[in-house]
Amino acid sequence: MPALSAAEIKHSAGPGRPRCYYRLNWYRLSSSYQSGEFRQTEFWCFYRHPETITVETSTKVDVLESFASLREELIWATSKVISGKTVFVTGGTGFLGTHIVRQLCDRPDCEKAIVHVRGTNPDAALERLINSAKRAVCWSDNYLPKIEAWAENLAKPKLGLIRGQWASLTGRDSNCGLVNSIIHAGNAVNWKAGYEVLKAANVNLTMELIKAALVTPAKPAFVYVSGGHRWSAGEDDATISRGVASSNGYSQMKMVAELPTKDF
């Protein structure tokens, strides 16, 4: 990550509540995909608060000690979110998604991982999920009792789910079980397709998940994994919108999907 050149970073609060955004921009994959490792090479965060943050460029920091402390804090925080919960995951057959599912299954405090998978029926969806996890060396038969694969059709409303599944996601029927956390890592990637082609499988999917999260009494934690435009600290929504207006359909689609996620 490039060093900060300014000695001071000023942030002003916009209308509404203060916000905090974290953006994972780039990843460097390890030499072997099969190793299941990836390293973050750049991390950008933006706080919108009515205060001034001073950056001391000469301060000596024990990075490993600081990391250890932060790691414990994150472990504690995520345990509060996931403990004894059901987690709904989209994109579970992608590179990142397979690792998310594996880690959920390895956690004793996660009771069930419901994975939204493309397929004509639950058996086909589960088979596709298992095959993807095996290719990424992320599979164990011990995971089966925790995993429930929901076959999806992104071209249909309500994620293509059957009535009982949608009732579980939206909390309309407690007998179907409630979803307590949503990890949205799924999207259709096609760098040559236009915005309208990609909208149904990306923007509409994100909107359906946001609506479900808003109406369910479970008040689930909502994690949105995104790519697309590389943000800079000085950019606002209007600036970014102008930048992607003439870009490819994928970048346009990601921008449109990110805005409601950020604000809901």
Please tell me which residue, 203 or 72, carries the higher pLDDT value.
203
- On the question of pLDDT at 37 being above 80, the answer is no
Per-residue model confidence (pLDDT) at position 197: 76
Question: Whole-number mean pLDDT of the chain?
Answer: 73
* All residues at 6 or more sequence positions from 260 whose CB lies less than 8 Å from its CB, including other chains: 206, 207, 210
The predicted model scores a pTM of 0.67
Per-residue model confidence (pLDDT) at position 2: 42
pLDDT in tens, 68-122: 666 666 566 555 555 558 999 999 999 889 999 999 999 988 999 999 998 889 9
CB 148 within 8 Å of CB 114: yes
Question: Which range, of 25-34, 193-202, 209-218, averages the lowest pLDDT?
Answer: 25-34
- On the question of pLDDT at 185 being above 70, the answer is yes
Residue with structure tokens 């345990």?
A: 79
Please tell me which residue, 35 or 81, carries the higher pLDDT value.
81
- On the question of pLDDT at 35 being above 50, the answer is no
Please tell me which residue, 52 or 152, carries the higher pLDDT value.
152
Nearest to 199 by CA among 248, 256, 240: 256
DSSP SS3 for 75: helix
Pick 80-263's CATH classification: 3.40.50.300, 3.40.50.720, 3.30.450.20, 3.40.50.10470.
3.40.50.720
pLDDT in tens, 239-260: 777 777 777 777 787 788 888 8
Please tell me which residue, 218 or 189, carries the higher pLDDT value.
218
Termini Cα distance of the chain: 30
Q: Could you give the percent of the chain with pLDDT greater than 70?
A: 64
Q: Where are the domains of the chain?
A: 9-60, 80-263
Measured CA to CA, the distance from residue 199 to residue 185 in angstroms comes to 16
Per-residue model confidence (pLDDT) at position 179: 92
